[in-house]
Amino acid sequence: MDWKSKRVRTIIEAALAEDKASEDVTTALTIPPRLRATGTIIAKQSCVVSGLGCIPAFFDAFAKMSTVSPGRFEVVSHPEIFDGVRVKKGQALAVIRHNAAAILSCERVILNLMQRMSGIATITDEYVRAVAKTGVKILDTRKTIPGLRALDKYAVSCGGGVNHRLNLQDGILIKNNHISLGGGLPAALANALKGRKAGQMVQVEVRSQVELDEAIAGGAESILLDNMTPAAVKKAVKQIRKSLPSIPIETSGNMNLKTVRAYALAGVDFISVGALTHSAVAVDLSMRISVDQSTF
């Protein structure tokens, strides 16, 4: 993750602006302006870490927004703790040494982002573990928080998942509404294959035996089996492998941790799980702040 990219900077700056961090009236009225402090981010539950890079990014952005320079800062973490690592309850994720007011004003936005990202990474890790040793890869979807997709998908990668399309330009996926509005599956598939640019793979989502037959006959280059039972997926995989032995096969639809392994054992290559991002529960993190007996 490039935390200095324009896309990420925009997210960071928007979060600070929304919280009016540079106009923190409580901190301004109660905290000596030159007081230094140490903030320690603690995991209050076992989780997979994601988002450590947002900490210096927030302070860099805050310094540009603040009317008074908050001065130098330092963010350190144990060498064994980095994005993608599972930590235990009570472990310290990072230690921040900075102006006390800056820490207080940025505390909430830092925790908000890290809690969400670590929540996504943690649930992704659970799905990856659930299909261990099957060869199946867990994919994310575009079911992300508007504006946060880059960070949501980065968090998925921290949990061991694989990113699907970042946006609608990234690939061709013919779904049910394209089929309904595009004159049926054969017509939509033929038009996509004819009009696509070099290197663009055409994937088709199928929901029935009729659509599966049409996708195979039309030369689909990847097939997504949607909302089928594991038994139906296994049967469909066998049919696809017979006609199109080398194409990627994906399945999706109401996937959960209890059922995902059965789908993996049905022979697919990928399983896409919208819940990784649309239903991830934020992990519980806190920041303990103490005074440093120094000024600058």
- Tokens for 180, please give them: 């309904």
- Tokens for 22, please give them: 């540079």
Q: 294 pLDDT exceeds 80? A: no
d(CA 65, CA 87): 33
Catalytic site residue 269?
A: no
Confidence at 296, pLDDT banded by 50, 70, 90: very low
Top-level class of domain 128-278: alpha beta
Catalytic site residue 175?
A: yes
**Tens digit of each residue's pLDDT (9 = 90 or more) over 251-285:** 999 899 999 999 999 999 999 999 999 999 999 99
Confidence at 46, pLDDT banded by 50, 70, 90: very high
Catalytic site residue 221?
A: no
Catalytic site residue 89?
A: no
Question: Other C-beta atoms within 10 Å of 150: how many?
Answer: 17
Q: 90 pLDDT exceeds 70? A: yes
Domains of the chain by residue range: 6-122+281-295, 128-278
**Tens digit of each residue's pLDDT (9 = 90 or more) over 188-216:** 999 999 999 999 999 999 999 999 999 99
What's CA 196's distance to the chain center, in Å? 28
| Catalytic option among 9, 97, 175, 234 | 175
Question: Other C-beta atoms within 10 Å of 280: how many?
Answer: 23
Q: 295 pLDDT exceeds 50? A: no
**What value does the mean pLDDT of the chain take?**
96
Q: 136 pLDDT exceeds 60? A: yes
| Catalytic option among 97, 108, 196, 207 | 108
CATH superfamily, region 6-122+281-295: Quinolinate phosphoribosyl transferase, N-terminal domain (3.90.1170.20)
| Catalytic option among 205, 214, 221, 250 | 205
Q: What is the pTM of this model?
A: 0.95
d(CA 154, CA 161): 9
**Tens digit of each residue's pLDDT (9 = 90 or more) over 240-249:** 999 999 999 9
The pLDDT value recorded for residue 70 is 85
| Catalytic option among 34, 143, 165, 207 | 143
> Mean per-residue pLDDT for 68-84?
91
Q: 293 pLDDT exceeds 70? A: no
Are 138 and 277 within 8 A, CB to CB? no
The DSSP H or E segment spanning 239 is helix 230-243
Catalytic site residue 235?
A: no
**Tens digit of each residue's pLDDT (9 = 90 or more) over 139-177:** 999 999 999 999 999 999 999 999 999 999 999 999 999
Confidence at 67, pLDDT banded by 50, 70, 90: confident
